Structure 1
Amino acid sequence: MNKTRLMPILIVIAIGVVLAGLILLLDKPSAVTAEMAAGDASGIAGENQPDIGPRGGKLFTGDGFGLELTIFEKGVPPQFRIYLYENGKPLPPAAAKVSIALTRLGAPVQLIKFAPEADYLLGDQVVEEPHSFDLAIAAERNGQTFRWGSSQVEARLEMTDEMLKTMGVEIQTAGPAIVKSTLKLPGEIVFNPDRIVQVVPRLPGVVAEVNFEPGQMVKKGDVLAVIESQMLADLHSQYMAAQKRLSLARTVYQREKQLWEEKISAKQDYLAAELVLNEAQIAVDLAAEKLKALGVRPEPGLPAKALTRYEVRAPISGLIITRTVALGAALKEDITIFTVADMSTVWTAVTVYPKDLSIVRVGQKALVKATAFDVEGEGVVTYITTLIGGQTRTATARVILDNKDGRWHPGMFVNIELVSDEIEVPVAVSAQAIQTFRDWTVVFGRYGGYLEARPLELGRSDGKMVEVLKGFAAGERYASGNSFAIKADIDKAGASHDH
């Protein structure tokens, strides 16, 4: 067979060998990758970087003995697997005893022992993420001891305190905290009905002045409107007539008293004059009280124009909600012409769903936040309706808010957070520190000059603090504030998940 005919056959065979090799490599478990420095504590291990073993792991060799270290994590938690070799040929797993001392940043040394399993040695502990650690490997074979060292860096970043401060990153310490379980409900700001006043003129008349519009603030005693009232003129006339009769009665009484004392007139005339004086005084007092009841100060000798002028004054300080009066209008004494609301406090009408009625209770702390802009306030639940609305099928709770600064406006939609429970947890971190890194929920722990991702198992949260169930201990320091910048820098640094 000539060379021309053999060449295509050889090319096909070569391609088949390459493809077979790739398939074998893809089926192998992931292996530890990092800068591995091989030490020689017994004078046996080699000095060069470990090679790649037949199963894709890192191969440590010395004096004919070899050890291949892999991390297997397909369908199981990550675990070390070790394969043994002698002069390049596989050994049974019981042919050597192996242990590994694993050291992480900010954690005690983790001693991992191995036992035979199938054709490999299996570590007795899970290799927690991230796989960033230093390893000290010790193996005993036929009375000989072999030692190697290995380092691996993953999800780690070196950064000074000054750089962190510039980036807006704060370093906090994990520890016990009070986590408040909250219930979020919708609501609306409404007027405090206990502080709304309907203003009526109390006298019929014609409107001569209107001084305020709806939406304006007034102070107690401000003149809202002026009414010209014939009835007021009659009351003033009665008061002034009573004053004159009182003056005359007083003069007659003084004269009769003097004549009786001088034995000139009979006592009967004196007593009659005293009775007339008392009746006149009662008439004056009655006329004065009628004026005072209308808010008018009784004053004798008023000019004629002032007799009909009635000033309608604001009974409280507050906001004018409505005005139904117009200049020149004829009014009855019982019609509402202004509505004034005291805005120093407002109510929050909270919508409570039937499933939440067992949680909401009077005296409960509430945080109220506006939906349209950044306004929030605190209060307590003061009332819960006992009936559920026929159309909405919800109940209503009331939260009173202080509004002296005028931040809250009736009609605003709000969200209410009710504290349903307060629990002290042994370890908690700031919610601002939590980030998603790969498929982990992490904080970035601070260890000396390094930051490193720490995957967490989280518990309860109130939006400010988050309970840590696993992955971080009390007293450990972590990055908060602008912790997203740490995540971005680690991604740029290429601290990949490669083993």
Structure 2
Amino acid sequence: MKLKPIVKAILLAHLAAGSFATHTAIAQSAEQVSPQVEEKGPNNGRLLKEQDLTVELAIFEDGMPPEFRVFATTNGLPIAPEDIDINVKLTRLGDGIDDINFYAENDYLRGDMEIYEPHSFAVTVTAKYNGKTYQWDYDNFEGRTLINSLIADKMQIITENVEPQQFNETLAVFGTMTLAPNAVTHVSARFAGEVKELHVKLGQKVKKGQLLMTIESNESLQPYTLYAPIDGQVTKQNVTLGQQANAQTLLTISDTSKLVAELSVFPLDVQKVQVGAKVLLNITGLDAPIVTYITDSLFELNSDQAKVFRAEVDNRQGRLNAGQFFKAEIELDSYQVPMAVKADGLQSFRDFTVVYAKIGEQYEVRMLELGRKAGPWVEVLSGIPLGTEYVALNSYLIKADIEKSGASHDH
């Protein structure tokens, strides 16, 4: 018994764990069937023969959407296309039946509908000629595999459904926290004198009106007091007890309850960013991003030749500090798309980008036309119906299984 490589590896793991009896049925269901040998005709189509009738069913797609063409002969002589009636039914995995009729054109019969991808179906060909009916059935599968659900679980094949999604296009940037404008107040002496008492210290939080220090005037020798003009934190202390207070700044008090996130946006992206845009700030040490909005921008470029956009940040809990670096995502646009799939589920197949649709325990390629991307999602314009279950994670395992089985594109 020949097993697909991935299936074989998982079964060996079960054998090592002593669980062969439980999974014997799985091994049998994974057995690989040898591909049917087919005979090709002069138009590179499949030859179907019965008695003296030969029908060549070819897919034609030279500069046009794929379609069937039929060339018929009897005893080696061409049959006029108007003298034979052909019908082809394509039974697709999970997508119903394509019923194709034919009409005469030149020296062949031409199918009346496009053969859309994937070209994977069970084929039934019915021919009526000279009062007789002929029928052929065969499988033409590509990009398809069968994996038992227990094995798929072991392989961690995760599926989701094709659904509408809210897209949030974002721009990743870096930035720095700064104090808000007018958040800093410098405290100086009203009269020159000696500092007699200091009632606060560097780093201490103060309230507006709180006593800061007592100074003895050099001229009157009378003490006077200084009080905090705002709520905030003592961020600089330039004086000590006994020191002369003249015109210098004695204390600096900064209101740290509100900070400003300065976001550096490089010239290529500047036109994408608008005032009012939503911003997610990712701060090291915080469990969740901080949500804020751009309020304005600076006129001058920074040292990296980037334009600086600013967003206010609530810091009443004191979790952030001026000078702190961060990563951020600026929301550029937000909209709903009718269909989307996870980007992690995308794979390449021939010249297409695909996902693997799951129908029961079978998986098959679905060729996609893709649109916009946002975060983990990619918009789907066509190629798969809404609601289809598809492989969203570990789809590379399905691809490997199909490639090992040698499924080919039959034209």
**TM-score interval (norm. to shorter):** 0.7 to 0.9
1:142 is aligned to 2:55:
no
Aligned to 1:240: none
CA displacement, residues 32-88 of structure 1 (integer Å, 9 cap, x when unaligned): xx956xxxxxxxxxxxx7533344432111120011122233443332222212123
1:417 matches 2:354: no
Q: How does 1:9-158 map to 2 (within 5 A)?
A: 35=35, 51-158=39-146
Contact residue 281 and residue 326 of structure 2 kept, 8 A: no
Structure 2: unaligned runs, 5 residues or longer: 1-33
Q: Residue 256 of structure 1 corresponds to which residue in structure 2? A: none
- CA gap of 1:408–1:35, structure 2 versus 1, over 3 A, is farther
TM-score, with structure 2 as normaliser = 0.72
- Which of 291, 295, 303 does residue 378 from structure 1 map onto? 291
Shift of 1:110: 0.9
TM-score norm. by structure 1 comes to 0.61
Which residue in 1 is equivalent to 2:280? 367
Secondary structure at 1:490 match in 2: helix
Q: What's the CA shift for 1:229?
A: 5.5
The offset of 1:468, in angstroms, is: 1.7
Q: 1:197 aligns with which of 156, 175, 184?
A: 184
| Structure 1 residue aligned with 2:408 | 496
Q: Which moved more, 1:445-454 or 1:162-171?
A: 162-171
How far, CA to CA, are the matches of 1:437 and 1:71 in structure 2? 19
Inter-partner Cα distance in structure 2 for 1:137 and 1:173: 34
Higher strand share: 2
User: Deviation string for 1:124-162 (max 9, x for gaps)?
Assistant: 222222221111111111121111111122112222444
Asked if the contact 1:354–1:394 (Cα under 8 Å) also holds between the matched residues in 2, the reply is no
In 2, Cα distance between the equivalents of 1:481 and 1:331?
69
Taking the aligned partners of 1:356 and 1:338, their CA distance within structure 2 comes to 36
Residue 344 of structure 2: aligned partner: 432
Counterpart residue identity of residue 435, structure 1: Q
Cα distance in 2 for partners of 1:444, 1:405 equals 49
Change over 3 Å in CA distance of 1:54–1:400 after alignment to 2: same
User: Structure 2 CA distance, aligned partners of 1:99 and 1:472?
Assistant: 26
CA 1:54–1:381: 2 relative to 1, 3 Å: same
Q: 1:205 deviation in Å?
A: 4.3
More displaced, 65-74 or 98-107? Answer: 65-74
**Is contact 2:195–2:214 with CA below 8 Å preserved after alignment?**
yes
Higher normalized helix content (fraction of residues): 1
Question: Which segment is superposed worse, 118-127 or 193-202?
Answer: 193-202
Q: Shift of the alpha carbon at 1:212?
A: 7.8
CA distance in 2, matches of 1:162, 1:411: 50
Query: SS in structure 1 opposite 2:113?
Result: strand
Local SS of the residue matching 1:131: coil
| Equivalent residue, structure 2, for 1:188 | 175
2:62 and 2:353 map into 1 onto residues whose CA distance is 20
The question of whether the paired residues in 1 share the 8 Å contact of 2:345 and 2:391 is answered with yes
Tell me the equivalent position of 1:258: none
CA distance in 1: counterparts of 2:302 and 2:231, whole angstroms:
36
**Identity over aligned residues, as a percent?**
29
CA distance in 2, matches of 1:392, 1:407: 24
Partner secondary structure for residue 179 of structure 1: strand
RMSD, aligned CA: 4.2
Per the alignment, do residues 444 and 228 of structure 1 end up closer, same or farther by CA in structure 2, a change over 3 Å counting?
same
Alpha-carbon offset, residue 317 of structure 1:
6.1
Alpha carbons 2:264, 2:306 under 8 Å: kept: no
1:435 positional shift: 2.8
Which of these residues, 385, 393, 408, is aligned with residue 481 of structure 1?
A: 393
Task: Map 1:310-349; keep pairs closer than 5 Å.
Answer: 332=246, 334-335=248-249, 337-338=251-252, 340=254, 342=256, 345-349=259-263
* 1:380 match: secondary structure: strand
> Offset of 1:206 from its aligned partner?
6.8
Q: Distance in 2 between matches of 1:65 and 1:199?
A: 103
Say if 1:495 and 1:397 are closer, same or farther in 2 by CA, change over 3 A: same
1:309-348 Cα distance to aligned partner (Å, 9 max, x none): xxxx997666x76666689975546415556562764423
Deviation sequence 1:232-286 (CA, Å, 0-9, x none) = 99445xxxxxxxxxxxxxxxxxxxxxxxxxxxxxxxxxxxxxxxxxxxxxxxxxx
Distance (Å, rounded) in 1 between the aligned partners of 2:271 and 2:256:
31
C-alpha distance after superposition, 1:97-141 (max 9, x if no partner): 212111111112111222333433222222222221111111111
1:177 aligns with one of 144, 165, 182: 165
Query: Which residue of structure 2 aligns with residue 277 of structure 1?
Result: none
Change (3 A) 1:175 1:228: closer
Choose the corresponding residue for 2:380, options 468, 484, 493: 468
State the number of aligned residues.
369
Separation in 2 of the partners of 1:408 and 1:165? 47
Aligned mates of 1:406, 1:480 — CA distance in 2: 38
Q: Which amino acid aligns with 1:412?
A: F
